[in-house]
Amino acid sequence: METTDYALGRTEEENERVRAQARLWSADTARLLDLVGLGTGDRCLDAGCGPGETMRLMAERVGPSGEVTGIDLDPGISSLAPGRVIIHDLTADDPVPGGPYDLVHARLLLFHTPRQAEVLRRLWDAVAPGGHLVVQDYDLSAVGVNPPLDIVDEMTAVLIEAFGAAGCDVRAGSRLPYLMAEAGIGAPDGTDVAGRLVPVAVGTPILESVYVSLLPVAYAKGLTTPADAEKAIDTLRRETAADPDRYVLLPLLNGVWKTKGESR
Ligand SMILES: C[S@@+](CC[C@H](N)C(=O)[O-])C[C@H]1O[C@@H](n2cnc3c(N)ncnc32)[C@H](O)[C@@H]1O
């Protein structure tokens, strides 16, 4: 597995992990798209679209008279995502291409980017008058299993350190309203917190898949070794199977939204 600009790597396994993660949160993203009134004929953007699962939710709502665009840094995304994908670095000091849009959405993007307020400001600038900005991101601070398991705490600590070492913001989701103020956008019109408390049999494979995607960073930063990682995964699987009554709190997915100025 090669280490890349994206902390979680660019592999087919990582694309599949992102798709599974998207399925987990699709109802919460759909709820916010509906709340701001995304509808027939709208032009919308998913910024940092990945394999394009949110683009599918958008397409269902805007219909054939609407337009769905995805933007991503990764050229490999074009063949995976449905609809038009523009390969572009959203941290670049350029306007967001293809706008203005009736809706700009970004999920799990600011978690990964430096200069978050600047990126957010550019996303806002791409929103048409009367259009909407919807941003969702993780806060990892509450992640854990209950009753606690040392192995989950250990693996979560490696994961959080590895994200930090790769320049990610593991509390981006709770920072969103502050980032909006910093970006000069002003307070959100509304905020949302989505969470999942799931049995260990569901939760620890998710933890394991993120851990595996982060291993190249963790090795490079000396946070674990291949032998220790293998042992940790083995212990996690064994202890999970031994007590299936435990539950895992997954990362919280926090959301903000805001409508721009005059109505359309
Ligand atoms: C964790 S994935 C989330 C994908 C999708 N938004 C979702 O929620 O399913 C983050 C995506 O953001 C993209 N990304 C990260 N930094 C970016 C940047 N500076 N410009 C554009 N895309 C970026 C990555 O390539 C990756 O596809």
Which residue's CA is the nearest one to ligand 1's atom 9? Answer: 22
Measured in angstroms, how far is the CA atom of residue 74 from the centroid of ligand 1?
8
- pLDDT at residue 45, as a whole number: 98
- pLDDT at residue 1, as a whole number: 30
> How far apart (Å, rounded) are the C-alpha atoms in residues 177 and 180?
5
Query: Probe ligand 1: pick from 6, 10, 163, 250, max atoms within 8 Å of CB?
Result: 6
Which residue's CA is the nearest one to ligand 1's atom 8? Answer: 107
């699962």: which residue's tokens? 53
Flag whether 111 is in a domain: yes
Q: What is the CATH number of the domain that holds 62?
A: 3.40.50.150
Residue 108: domain span: 12-259
Measured in angstroms, how far is the CA atom of residue 72 from the centroid of ligand 1?
6
Number of domain units in the chain: 1
What's the DSSP call for residue 75? G
Flag whether 122 is in a domain: yes
Flag whether 144 is in a domain: yes
Flag whether 44 is in a domain: yes
Residue list, ligand 1 pocket, CB within 6 Å: 6, 18, 22, 48-50, 53-54, 71-74, 89-91, 107-109, 112-113
Flag whether 5 is in a domain: no
Mean pLDDT by runs of 10 across the 264 residues of the chain is 59 84 96 98 97 96 97 88 93 97 98 97 98 98 95 96 96 98 98 97 94 94 97 97 96 98 62
Flag whether 26 is in a domain: yes
- B/e letters for 147-159, b = 16+ CB within 10 Å, e = fewer, are eebebbeebbebb
Flag whether 72 is in a domain: yes
Flag whether 4 is in a domain: no
Which is nearest to 183 in space by CA: 256, 246, 77? 256
Measured in angstroms, how far is the CA atom of residue 235 from the centroid of ligand 1?
31
Measured in angstroms, how far is the CA atom of residue 150 from the centroid of ligand 1?
31
Give CA separation, 49 vs 118, 143, 256, in Å.
Answer: 18, 24, 17
- pLDDT at residue 5, as a whole number: 67
Which is nearest to 137 in space by CA: 98, 178, 96? 178
